[in-house]
Amino acid sequence: NTSGYSPNDSVHIGEMKTLLQIEGLNPDVYLSVSASTKARDLENIMENYEPFHYNSVIVTKCDESHQYGNIISVLHGKHKKLSYITDGQYVTRNIRHADVIDFLINLSGFDVDRVHIEDVFGEK
């Protein structure tokens, strides 16, 4: 999402992979994707960055989209965790741990029982 290159540019993906290959360094790698990314595009992006061995995803630009079903579906299908979400222009100020309640309440096309969700996942 923030590398400045197309997620389909295998040359630049390879260069980034090389940059992270430092002896003795075992970085925690997160894939960053926009909340408005279409499901098929998200699947392709995740496959293209699989060589980085990321286990978790950061979803950015949550203020620009309130329909997260595509993100949840693809993450579930790829067996990846959602760790952080961001909204707003200042990522360092606007990053926070992903909140299950926020995502469930914002699912489009479903009747949501907020009280039940808060009972199951904790009150917000």
Domain boundaries, the chain: 10-121
Q: Tell me which amino acid residue 61 is.
A: K
Owner of token pair 């965790």: 81
Which one is predicted more confidently, 101 or 53? 53
Q: What pLDDT does 91 receive?
A: 78
Domain 10-121 has CATH 3.40.50.720: no
Counts for the chain of helices (H) and strands (E), in that order: 6, 4
- What's the predicted TM-score (pTM) here? 0.74
Q: What pLDDT does 107 receive?
A: 66
- CA dihedral of 43, 60, 8, 75, whole degrees rounded to 10: -20
**Mean pLDDT over residues 68-80, rounded?**
87
